Amino acid sequence: MKALQLTGWKQLPQFQEVATPEPGPGEVLVRIGAAGACHSDLHLFHDFEPGALPYELPFTLGHENAGVVEAFGAGVTGLDTGQPVVVYGPWGCGRCYPCVQGVENYCERQAEIGAAGGGLGRDGGMAPFMIVPAARYLVPLTDLDPVEAAPLTDAGLTPYHAIRRALPVLVPGATAVVIGAGGGLGHLAVQILRAVSSCRVIGVDTRDSGLELARRLGAHDAVMSGPDAEDEIRELTRGRGAEAVFDFVGIDPTMALGAAVVRPQGHLTVLGIGGGTLPISFFSIPYEVAVSTTYWGTIPELFEVIALAERGDITPVVHRYPLDDALDAYEAMRSGALEGRAVIVPEA
Ligand SMILES: [Zn+2]
Ligand SMILES: [Zn+2]
């Protein structure tokens, strides 16, 4: 079968002909319906020297995957072939304390394991089939189209996890700011906030089209990123600022904006891996602001995200690309031309 693989560091991925995998004991073979193209893959292609990441090359890309159960190996029970599923992305050891809670994104043995999951050191979903190492990574779908479901496993799950942590401050009357509101994760963050809280949502983006998308998906206000954004957010909140800021960009100016508009006792969560830094000193941010990064989410949270999507509360905006055109999808993302999520469809 044809697979889009990372074959070397500091270079674009390549199409390779590889053997169709067969599931071993405990493993599940998933026929891929769709694989999301994630902005973090661009960092994977360009930002790492050989040896910087504990991944062995080559491996098939695609860490946002949905499809149907094609076959499974010995010892797998409670699954039927033909069952539509999404694949939970970060694969831990399954036995440490975080893992047994479903928090495999923070597995304690990650350093020993090396690869972070399918598409991140092990073979992912940018191919007609992928092996999932354990049935616990599969969340069943009922009505959702795999093309709309695939982005939920990362572009949906990652903001959901961050928003869930901030829910105690997102009370009625509170404000949440989403920086990068037109992007793959940001456009889902806007919808998740509207679905799980009654807070006011302000979207921030660098593009008019991104602001328009944020508004269409439920943002109460949309603010152009730039020197005036801080004042505009202050004005919209009658000078109070925001209880929670979710920064899906993570560069110096966006982190500075977050620190400038977050309220005392608020949450400032950085999810974008733009490489920015935020200096922290006693007087540099309001009192009791929790500044944190987050990485992906948990297995139970993926069930919750799928439940939100199955009942129609959140819907990814997707652009379909056949597998042959996957590199065009990454280029569209790199150039900033893409809103929502690019999804690779192997059999399109
Ligand atoms: Zn990702
Ligand atoms: Zn573990």
Contact 220, 229 (CB under 8 A): no
Q: 20 is in which domain, residue-wise?
A: 2-154+297-345
Q: Which ligand has the nearest atom to the CA of 92?
A: 2
Q: Phi and psi at residue 174, in whole multiples of 5°? A: -80, 165
Domain check: are 341 and 213 in the same one? no
Q: Are residues 82 and 211 in the same domain?
A: no
Cis peptide before 23 (omega within 30 of 0): no
Q: Which two tokens stand for residue 300?
A: 């139970």
**Same structural domain, 148 and 167:** no
Place of tokens 């910087």: 52
Do 43 and 148 reside in the same domain of the chain?
Answer: yes
Which residue from 138, 139, 193, 150 is spatially nearest to 171, judged by alpha carbons? Answer: 193
- CATH code where residue 226 lies: 3.40.50.720
Residues 122 and 23 placed together within one structural domain of the fold: yes
CA 306 to centroid of ligand 2, rounded, Å: 23
Overall number of domains in the chain: 2
Gap from CA of 105 to ligand 2 centroid (Å): 9
CA of 44 to the centre of ligand 1 (A): 10
Q: Average pLDDT by consecutive 10-residue portion of the chain (348 residues)?
A: 97 97 98 95 92 94 98 96 97 97 96 92 98 98 94 98 98 97 96 98 96 98 97 98 98 98 98 94 95 97 98 96 96 88 87
- How many alpha carbons lie under 13 Å from residue 137 in its C-beta half-sphere? 29
- Give pLDDT, residue 139: 98
Closest-approaching ligand to the CA atom of 89: 1
CA of 248 to the centre of ligand 1 (A): 12
Same-domain status, 7 and 78: yes
- Please report the sign of the dihedral spanned by the C-alpha atoms of residue 132, residue 139, residue 303, residue 258: positive
Find the CATH number of the domain harbouring 82.
Answer: 3.90.180.10
Same domain assignment for residues 312 and 274: no
Same domain, yes or no: 280 and 341? no
Ligand with the closest atom to the CA of 42: 1
Ligand nearest 113 Cα, by number?
2
Nearest bound ligand to the CA of residue 108 = 2
Query: Residue 129: what pLDDT?
Result: 98
Q: Tell me, what's the pLDDT at 338?
A: 86
- Give the per-residue pLDDT at 167: 98
pLDDT of residue 340: 87
Ligand 1 geometric centre to CA of 264 (Å): 31
Within 17-166, where are the H helices? 39-46, 97-100, 110-113, 146-149, 157-166
